[in-house]
A and B are shown apart, each in its own frame.
Chain A
Amino acid sequence: MTSRVEETGSTFDESHDPESEPANGGKRVRRLDRVVIRFAGDSGDGMQLTGDRFTSETAGFGNDLSTLPNFPAEIRAPAGTLPGVSSFQLHFADHDILTPGDAPDVLVAMNPAALKANLADLPRGAEIIVNTDEFTKRALAKVGWQADPLDDGTLGEYRVHPVALTTLTVEALKETSLARKDAERAKNMFALGLLSWMYHRPTEGTETFLRAKFAKRPEIAEANVLAFRAGWNYGETTESFAVSYEVAPAARAFAPGRYRNISGNLALAYGLIAASKQSELPLFLGSYPITPASDILHELSKHKNFGVRTFQAEDEIAGIGAALGAAFGGALGVTTTSGPGIALKSETIGLAVSLELPLLVVDIQRGGPSTGLPTKTEQADLLQAMFGRNGEAPVPIVAPASPGECFTMALEAARIALAYRTPVFLLSDGYLANGSEPWRVPEVSELPDLRVAFATEPNAPDGSGGFWPYLRDPETLARPWAVPGTPGLEHRIGGIEKQDGTGNISYDPANHDHMVRTRQAKVDGVSVPELAVDDPGGDARLLVLGWGSTFGPIAAGVRRARAAGGKVAQAHLRYLNPFPPNLGEVLRRYDKVLVPEMNLGQLAMLLRARYLVDARSFTQVSGMPFKAAQLAAVISEALDD
């Protein structure tokens, strides 16, 4: 997911190139341009860790990649059941790619439940590696299989590799002092070793990682390393794996620089720390644990040496309340949550609008309404962010389009909040939060300067020598930020309507009308970059417009449509309030505007209301991201009619 829409010149279309077969002694090596692997097992099988490690190896090797973890909301659903299946999908390639892949080429199934839960997603001819040790009568019965699918022809159209993963792992560890039960737990590393052999992944990183992870229990570390190596050696020696695969580094996909792999939540946490550094304001996070946002709290709590204060509050309301209190005191105040948390924070966001203090409100969206689908993705909080408060309470909204962009957009949210003294929404989602991609590590010198000047002098225009907390900057309409501790600027602010300028309580009708319009004008006037449009031929009549995490699948769908000869333009909104200044003009340039969203058409509704364009919605609220093929089909349809 490295390309930006305006740079899309590649002819790759995310479908397979024909493979070549260089000879290599006994075992054959095939060259592939891309692969999609899905690791699936019980929640307790360590599939997320296995996927993470394979991702790191792949990132280090220099492929472009994109990942999609998918796990149940329950921490440990009953073992061996369908609801307990956890999976991790990784798409990697020798060229730039945009999505975690529509369907896996390879499925690693640690038990019958994992096989059954994922079988429907596999295309004909896919490879399946199964842990045969788990295919007992009982385990099969748990998922409703009377006969063993490994024998009864169920898997006839796939290439199946039956591997006794558990037995082989225990065998490999028999020299260690580990009890059988502990030894069995290393089977995910055996599987990782085998896959690492199959795809020629570098292995040192994983060994170093395991030794660091289990530093306090060296015997466990060594057992995992042994299992990992045993898996590799098994691939090398066993007859049942006759072919291994090479996916060359994606040298052309990346601009020069230093790269790492990063998930959206990690990038967001780093963006917040960077914003704190660049603004020279201490970071204060007030937060309450909620999926899928908690990892930001966890990450930030590790970085106290950056002056970061994290406060795990008693509830969502206290989380934002404390952040706002810290902002009053001159901190960069942040609260992180998901949709249900936003619902609880609404009143305080309204207070922040009225107080005109900087505040970052991070919403990692998930399936709703209510508790909804905590671990699944959705982008249905747009209208909540836009309008979900009493009164006229406008709040700027930004939305990253990829995991790595969570970093950039955190800085952008901070820029807007600090410059305009306003709460700002950052809308990420479960897909961005947990998905990962290679990310060019920015130089600190490239980061924007976010420093703000606190008020230090009385400003009353009446010559009284007093301080008017609502005397605005004529350019930005921002009010002065005078923090407690500043002599002579003592003032009181509150949620009651204030007289513009003095900040005194005012119930005057004309003043209220003026203040409502002024707060709106301030947000409308927030400076945001123009919308870039990717229209290589310059003659497209159809524009596909998205926002947030749908960027990858939309861009992949657009590539496919173009590869099939379709003329289609793509643009992606990262600023949703205010919209980019040229959006109206862009929309009017095209005969048709197609808006794919993971909601029931929220952006489309805003566009239709604001610009009177006949934007067409394409929506999906399944908790899963769009697939490239699906969007390619929708785009072709739109081109045809």
Chain B
Amino acid sequence: MTDIKPAGITANGALKLTAKDFKSDQEVRWCPGCGDYAILAAVQGFLPELGIPREKIVFISGIGCSSRFPYYLSTYGMHSIHGRAPAIATGLAASRPDLSVWVITGDGDALSIGGNHLIHALRRNVNLKILLFNNRIYGLTKGQYSPTSEPGKITKSTPMGSLDEPFRPLSLALGAEAGFVARTIDSDRQHLTSVLRAAAQHQGTALVEIYQNCNIFNDGAFEVLKDPATRDAALLRLEHGQPYRLAPDGEAIVHDVTDPDPTRAFALSRLTEPTPIGVLRAVARPAYDRQLNAQLEQAVTERGEGDLAALLSGSDTWMVR
């Protein structure tokens, strides 16, 4: 985990970073062909755009294949424990508003073991960007069904088919009062980058679901959305200000990501044919960390900087001589 000197400062002191500056010296160890490679390349390609020096960027992950992600970036990073990355990132972002904090998680990590932290991070609206790599399977533990697997999934732990109804991550996020909700696909670098850009611009928690192919345990899960022969019919590309139809003969609706009413975004989140990609919702509301830090400032304005001696004495003391 060595890094060579502060990166990206040009002779005239301006910040100029490239994708290469965001590559760590660690050997990437995902299976050849895994969709995670494409996401990593897209993120490394996108980060210079942020214009934030890399020491101010932190990636925090949980456990799972995707959660190895921080090791491959040259920013600050933490590979934490299963499901807890949103909680850990919340503490960091709330106490260090100067940082750009990203969470890397998967469908098992975020929606199963860490479901509680995810929904509360979303409702709380801490300034976190959560990238949820959804491959609809457990990869690292070698192929059990996940909370996003389709019902009837035959896996090692469900030889006769899985029985439970899956989560729709974006519906869940909207139900949890998320202000920013989007979906993209690992292999569409341009689209992925545009969604990352929108997420980064959002103040507060952003949830980006990335359809990611696990070519070892669930290969082709999103093939119909990727195959040039089928994808145009299978995808609904959402663009703010542009019309879309929920059904071929349905009413044209102008997509408004800022609509305070989440009803339409929720309808989109339920839709599978076609599958919407892009930003479903981007509604500004005060971020938790900003408000928390504003309370600290307000307390100082109203009561002055804390005086330890006065605090310890309190109002009821007596002297012993």
Q: Which residues of A contact B (CB under 8 A)?
A: 56, 59-60, 62, 205, 251, 254-261, 270, 273-274, 277, 282, 284, 286, 303-309, 311, 313-315, 317-318, 321-331, 333, 347-348, 351, 355, 441-444, 458, 460, 464-469, 484-496, 502-505
Contacts and interface: CB of A to CB of B under 8 A. Distances in A.
A306 B303 CA distance: 10
B165 interface: no
Contacts of B311: 270, 273, 303, 306
A79 to B, nearest CB: 32
Given A326-B91, A464-B4, 15 more contacts: A257-B320, A274-B308, A304-B300, A305-B299, A313-B90, A314-B117, A322-B91, A327-B91, A328-B88, A487-B55, A489-B3, A493-B78, A494-B79, A495-B81, A502-B1
Interface centre among A257, A282, A318, A330 (most CB of B within 10 A): A318
Contacts of A311: 90-91, 94, 292
Given A309-B292, A321-B91, A324-B88, A488 B6 contact: yes
B91 A205 contact: no
B19 interface: no
14 contacts: A60-B316, A259-B320, A260-B313, A260-B314, A305-B296, A311-B90, A325-B89, A467-B3, A468-B2, A484-B99, A492-B73, A493-B77, A494-B78, A503-B1
Given A261-B316, A318-B90, A443-B309, A326 B95 contact: yes
Q: Which 10 A-B pairs have the closest CB atoms?
A: A466-B2, A494-B79, A322-B91, A325-B91, A306-B306, A321-B87, A304-B299, A487-B6, A318-B87, A314-B120
A351 B306 contact: no
B306 A307 contact: yes
Contacts of A502: 1-2
B320 A314 contact: no
Contact of A273 (B84, B92, B94, B306): B306
Given A322-B90, A444-B308, A490-B75, A305 B300 contact: yes
B158 interface: no
Contact of A465 (B5, B73, B88): B5
Contacts of A444: 308-309, 312
A83 B56 CA distance: 56
Contacts of B308: 273-274, 277, 306, 444
A456 B78 CA distance: 19
A495 B79 contact: yes
Given A311-B90, A464-B4, A468-B2, A258 B313 contact: yes
A317 B84 contact: yes
Contacts of B313: 258, 260, 441
Contact of A485 (B73, B99, B302, B305): B99
Contact of B92 (A256, A315, A328): A328
Contact of B2 (A273, A329, A460): A460
A485 B5 contact: no
A257 B321 CA distance: 6
Contact of A492 (B4, B76, B305, B317): B76
Contacts of B2: 460, 464, 466-468, 502
Interface in B1-24: 1-6, 24
Contacts of A313: 87, 90, 120
A374 B13 CA distance: 59
Given A259-B318, A273-B311, A317-B87, A355 B78 contact: yes
Interface string B58-78: 101000000000110111111
Contacts of A496: 79
A176 to B, nearest CB: 27
A489 B99 contact: no
Given A305-B303, A488-B6, A495-B79, A59 B91 contact: no
A21 to B, nearest CB: 28
Given A305-B305, A318-B120, A494-B78, A260 B316 contact: yes
B295 interface: yes
Contacts of B309: 443-444
Contacts of B306: 273, 277, 303, 305-308
B182 to A, nearest CB: 23
B311 to A, nearest CB: 7
A488 B2 CA distance: 9
Given A325-B88, A504-B1, A309 B296 contact: yes
B54 to A, nearest CB: 6
B168 to A, nearest CB: 21
A492 B1 contact: yes
A317 B55 CA distance: 28
Nearest to A251: B320
B65 to A, nearest CB: 13
Contacts of B295: 304
Contacts of A467: 1-3
B296 A329 contact: no
Nearest to A447: B308
B96 A329 contact: yes
Given A62-B318, A314-B117, A322-B90, A491 B3 contact: yes
A255 B319 CA distance: 10
Contact of A484 (B5, B58, B88, B303): B58
B251 to A, nearest CB: 39
Nearest to B292: A309
A322 B55 contact: no
B3 A329 contact: no
Contacts of B87: 313-314, 317-318, 321-322, 325
Nearest to B72: A492
A444 B305 CA distance: 15
Interface in B274-307: 292, 295-296, 298-300, 302-306
Interface centre among B116, B306, B320 (most CB of A within 10 A): B320
B317 A259 contact: yes
Contacts of A305: 296, 299-300, 302-306
Nearest to B3: A490
A139 to B, nearest CB: 36
B320 A484 contact: no
B314 A304 contact: no
Contacts of B58: 328, 484
Interface centre among A258, A306, A330 (most CB of B within 10 A): A306
Nearest to A303: B306
A493 B79 contact: yes
Given A255-B320, A305-B303, A323-B91, A488 B80 contact: no
Contacts of B220: none
B79 A492 contact: yes
A314 B84 CA distance: 12
B56 A484 contact: yes
Contacts of A351: 80-81
Contacts of B319: 257-259
B116 A322 contact: no
A305 to B, nearest CB: 4
Given A205-B316, A305-B304, A492 B96 contact: no
Contacts of A485: 55-56, 96, 98-99
Contacts of B321: 256
Contacts of B80: 321, 351, 494-495
B116 A318 contact: yes
A309 B316 CA distance: 26
B79 A441 contact: no
Given A273-B306, A314-B116, A282 B95 contact: yes
Contact of A318 (B56, B117, B317): B117
B143 interface: no
